[in-house]
Amino acid sequence: MKQLIVISFILFSCALNFSCSAEKKAPVIIKSDENESKVIDLALAIQSSIEEGNAQDYLNLWDIGNFNNKVRKNMNSFGFNKYVESFISGLGQGLESFPNKIIHQYNEGAYYDFIKVRYDDDEQTYYMLFRFFSELEGINYHDYSVSVEDGEVKFNDMYVYLTGEHFANTIARFGLFAFPKRNLFSSESTLDDKIKEFEHIQKSVEYQQSGQFEKAYKEISKVKSDLSKNKALLLVKLQYAVNYDLEIYKSSIEEIMSLFPNDETLNILYIDYYSLLEDYDKAIEYIDELEQLTEDDFVRILKAHTYYNKGEQAKALEHYDYIIDNYGFFGAYSGKIAVLTEQEKYETAVELLQQLIDSGDYVKQDLIVFIEEVDENGENILLPLVESEVYKAWKE
């Protein structure tokens, strides 16, 4: 491919049929057609807020009070009661960065799409699954949990596949950085070591923000306590590694695989891992599992890329065509053009380029730039197409 994907960020009032349980703080949401319809409306409103670039509309759909309670509960469980309220009071402004980041990525060409609604019998509430996808950052899923605020349907948290935990848990954990470190731990014997570990994490984030991924990785690797086995921290460490050293990245995935062998939401990492090992059959197994878990057929774009890298052109074309027919995704068009170039079917590739222009969604000059640009290694796998007579004639 021109870009190798590295699958590399968060009810109802009595009139709406909800009941309350004495053992639960949140309302129990009854599974019904009426309630499911209202949850779907909520999901579509979330998607519209992203597409229209309106972060405030997104925030208005967020049950912030319930979310804060989740963060508060997590922090109190760590024993940080003294500093929780000051942190919670300043949390609102920071939450704005979440929709703003998604909106920015959407405006840069990423996709953020509502996939499905499901009902969780154990939690007695609905979940709404969204897919994030970009050619640069790969695929991720946000599984929003539904709640009610003053009788209004909202969401109160989301399970983020790439972090492997709910957003409230992540916020609570990294909120520790805001607290005076010498007041976090009661045991003087471990105080200095604990402080140093938090300082290592903070320093690694500073290195990451300045693009110094090797230093970020080495700094966070200095954490040696039980925290070093925490999934969220390991996934942060993984993001440093992928920008630093692919061999270390692979070994970091292996560590996560050994610690969390039955976590289906980590299938995204396993797809990447086996692709890097060029064990494409195993990667395809995990793509199939991801599709079954999410009920999202868009993951077939990953299957198309995998078959392409495996050298199975016919199967790659089959899945590229599926994505083109069902989603009109440009990455599938570019993948198909790459296969056609390898097959020396330059006329068909040019016809596909013209088809994109005739659709009115693409400009010829932009396509020319895309077809002729070289990658960071100065290479262009579409060079045979560029040098073909049929392409030269089309270009003029």
Please state, in angstroms and rounded to a whole number, the distance separating the CA atoms of residues 105 and 102: 5
Long-range contacts of 142-149 (CB under 8 A, 24+ apart): 142/10, 144/43, 144/46, 146/11, 146/29, 146/39, 146/42, 147/11, 147/26, 147/27, 147/63, 147/66, 148/11, 148/12, 148/13, 148/16, 148/18, 148/27, 148/29, 148/63, 149/63, 149/65, 149/66
Quote the Cα angle for 42-170-134, to 5°.
60
Q: Tell me what pLDDT residue 177 has.
A: 56
Q: Tell me what pLDDT residue 187 has.
A: 45
Q: Tell me what pLDDT residue 185 has.
A: 45
The chain-wide mean pLDDT, for the chain, equals: 85
Any idea which residue has 């208005």 for tokens? 60
Tell me the average pLDDT across 383-388: 96
Tell me the average pLDDT across 356-362: 94
Judged on CB neighbours under 10 Å (0-12, 13-18, 19+), 70 is buried
Q: Tell me what pLDDT residue 24 has.
A: 39
β-bridge mates for residue 142, sequence order: 130, 160
41 band by pLDDT with thresholds 50, 70 and 90: very high
Q: Which domains does the chain have, with CATH numbers?
A: 1-177 (3.10.450), 296-395 (1.25.40)
Is the pLDDT at 3 greater than 50, yes or no? no
Q: Tell me what pLDDT residue 90 has.
A: 73
Per residue in 140-162, pLDDT (tens digit) is: 999 999 998 778 899 999 999 88
Is the pLDDT at 104 greater than 90, yes or no? yes
Closest CA to 81 of 175, 203, 217, 207: 175
